[in-house]
Amino acid sequence: MRILGVDPALSITGYGVIDARRNSLNLIEAGIISTSSKDRLPLRLDKIYGAITKLISDTKPDVLVLEKLYAHYRHPATAFLLGQARGVICLACETENIPLAEYAATRVKKAIVGKGLASKLQVQRMVATALSLNNLPKYMDVTDALALAIAHSQISRVRI
């Protein structure tokens, strides 16, 4: 199964594509989609949408995985902007006919580390280990996207 994990944000959206076969995970591609805060919001959303659509077309995933939206009551504007980025990613899934899966951050951490309250560094190290990476990903957004993809491979295997 080819899985595209996406950690959405307006400034830096991380992504990671893995192949999950039986007992092996292979990294296909990972990186970021960045937008400038100097650009108008519609342009930034269009850039994310276009990049995700191209990524789906290029890598042909079987599923796209997003983190469920969690918003802190003290930062409603952040949640609003994040929701817009998630929205164009969901739209890309629909237009490209790709199934969408969503997991809470604690569910992802539990699948990756074994603890729902694991630290970012613990998740980063487990992602690197699971994918046999020599170096930790440069951006935490990439780590989070890869963690989503890895978690889905484990969770969907349990459901089958």
158 has pLDDT over 70: no
Write down the pLDDT at residue 100: 98
From the CB of residue 99, how many other CB atoms can be counted at a distance below 10 Å?
Answer: 10
Domain that holds residue 31: 2-159
Write b or e for each residue in 66-95: b if 16 or more Cβ atoms lie within 10 A of its Cβ, otherwise e.
bbeeeeeeeeeeeeebbebbbebbbebbee
Catalytic residue among 29, 46, 62, 141: 141
0.85 exceeded by pTM: yes
Q: Tens digits of per-residue pLDDT, 102-141?
A: 999 999 999 999 988 899 899 999 999 999 999 988 999 9
From the CB of residue 35, how many other CB atoms can be counted at a distance below 10 Å?
Answer: 20
Whether 46 is catalytic is no
User: CA angle 91-94-98, nearest 5°?
Assistant: 125
CATH of the domain at 120: 3.30.420.10
Catalytic residue among 67, 94, 96, 144: 67
Catalytic residue among 7, 46, 62, 144: 7
Whether 67 is catalytic is yes
Average pLDDT, the chain: 92
Q: Tens digits of per-residue pLDDT, 77-97?
A: 777 888 899 999 999 999 999
**Structurally, how many domains does the chain consist of?**
1
